[in-house]
Amino acid sequence: MTGWLWLVGCPVRVFGKSQFSDGRTYIVTYNHNALIDVPISAPFIPGPNKTIAKLSFAKVPLFGWYYRKGSVLVDRDSDSSRRKSFEEMKKVLKEGIHMCIYPEGTRNRTKEPLKRFYAGAFKLATDTGTPVMPAVIINTRKAMPIHKKFFLWPCALRLYFLPPVDATDISTEALKDKVFKQMWEFYETHQ
């Protein structure tokens, strides 16, 4: 991924890998501004990881096979699929594999740094006692504007892993608000 991003004029610098403690599993929450966020997020996490992903992407030839291997798939329109994916994510964490989640649910098409977060990532954290590692990706909105299809503008990208947030002795809603505030403030000061 580093080589491909450099070739297309979107080199990425990664900061904060030292936030990851050896032998510890995290739920990594990312902001989501462009399609390019997904391939940027997973390769730079130290250690094995999976992402939560839309079931429809698994149908893409060749890409879909890789997508299924590295993701917990969910049909967002199906309650049973969402429940099944939640249990699958718990299994992934038990195996010592990090989970990558975009709590905005879909790409942020607003002018704000973040959209309102859904509670799923934070419920997973409080249910399992897994700390949340907030991560902020900068400039993908510039590199891949939301209103243009198949467009990639050369632009330096940055990925920051922020200090983890403990998920014990806190409510799901309070954890969600705490991580949202941390990511919002960081994004505003570093964009």
Interval 38-78: pLDDT, tens: 888 888 999 999 998 888 877 887 777 777 888 898 888 88
DSSP state of 94: H
Two tokens at 27?
């739920």
Binning pLDDT at 50, 70 and 90, where does residue 126 land? very high
85: amino acid identity, one letter: S
Nearest to 164 by CA among 179, 176, 177: 179
Whether 16 contacts 136, CB under 8 Å: no
Is the full-model pTM beyond 0.85?
yes
For the residues 104-123, what does the mean pLDDT come to?
93
For the residues 19-33, what does the mean pLDDT come to?
96
Mean pLDDT of the chain: 91
Strands laid side by side in the 49-54 sheet = 12-15, 157-161, 132-138, 27-30, 98-101, 49-54, 71-74
Nearest to 14 by CA among 138, 109, 106: 138
Rounded Cα gap, residues 66 and 1, in angstroms = 14
